[in-house]
Amino acid sequence: MRIAITGRNGQVAQSLLERAAIAALDVSTIARPGVDLTRPNEVEAALVALAPQVVVNAAAYTAVDLAESEPDLAYAVNVEGAAAVARTASRLGIPIIHLSTDYVFDGTLDRPYCESDATGPLGVYGQTKLEGERAIISASDNHAILRTAWVYSPFGKNFARTMLSLASKRDEISVVSDQLGSPTNALDIVNGIIAVAENLVQKPSAAELRGVFHMTGAGETTWAGFAEAVFDVSAAAGGPSAHVKPIPMSSYPTPAKRPANSRLDNSKLFKVHGVHLPDWRQSLPDTVERLLMQDFPKT
């Protein structure tokens, strides 16, 4: 299967490239410096030249707090860039898989969010991601929008890597304990993307395979619980560890508000696509051990 993915250095793009190296996948990236997602003509030319069977729009402006002071740039990437990819995919007659986020919700429900629940972003990042979803839907009927959350991996900047770095310098780390979510490994996300892509390509007229879906790791925890799990794995492997001091979100003010409940209900994805990501605790050890080898190699 020929897949084009926007972005090159992001966690999902890096995970897909790694997966392609061990599977029968032909993966091409659409990213700077060759292609600027804020320039629709460049996006269209790149996709036409690659002639993929499916395109994955993983590139995004993800700096949640910085987006509050850079709304135009966030909009250009998350809305206009997404729309350009979707329009070209529609023109080429191929499906688009678009990655979105739990930040499209306000986090006030006392249960995991379903796809049919009302959206209500709390900040610029969430609002532009929601408008990006709408742009995809408007530009192409042949789409699968996958909302995920709390992404981590052996690649790039992410929560697990940050915790390990902090633990190498401190004995105690304050971490938010009243925000619920599901840590989701980018390598698991990629496995889900590939399964969805195969379904879309094999069944081009199956309307039920198109639409909005939630896709996160199974299980739930808090950021503090996530940090403790990272340190447990790290300590067992001889890596850095620290005591986690639970704090409320109110004690860690940020420019952008975060949803207190980031849990997503993934039952629709399993029912329609047969995709179920593993429990977050199952996927954590391998990634933490890889991060330790990269950032804290034993001499």
Tokens of 131: 């408008």
Q: Is the CB of residue 28 less than 8 Å from the CB of residue 3?
A: yes
Instruction: Spot the catalytic one: 61, 103, 113, 125.
Output: 125
Q: Which of 269, 281, 276, 65 is nearest to 183 (CA)?
A: 281
- Label residue 179 left, alpha or beta by phi (over 0 means left) and psi (-120 to 50 means alpha): beta
What angle do the packed helices 159-167 and 280-295 form, to 10 degrees? Answer: 50
Q: Please, what sign has the CA dihedral across residues 159, 163, 166, 172? A: positive
Separation between Cα atoms, residue 67 and residue 60, nearest integer Å: 11
Q: Is the CB of residue 77 less than 8 Å from the CB of residue 38?
A: yes
Q: Please provide residue 112's backbone torsions phi and psi, each rounded to the nearest 5 degrees.
A: -60, 145
Tokens of 35: 């292609």
Residues in the chain: 299
Residue 76 DSSP one-character state:
I
What angle do the packed helices 280-295 and 186-202 form, to 10 degrees? Answer: 120
Q: Please, what sign has the CA dihedral across residues 186, 84, 206, 1? A: negative
Q: Which residues fall within 8 angstroms of residue 160, CB to CB, at 6 or more apart?
A: 152, 226, 230, 284, 287, 288, 291
According to DSSP, the β-strands at 180-181 and 221-222 are: antiparallel
Active site residue 152: no
Q: What share of the chain is helix, strand, coil (3-state, %, to 5)?
A: 45, 20, 35
Query: Which residues are tagged catalytic?
Result: 125
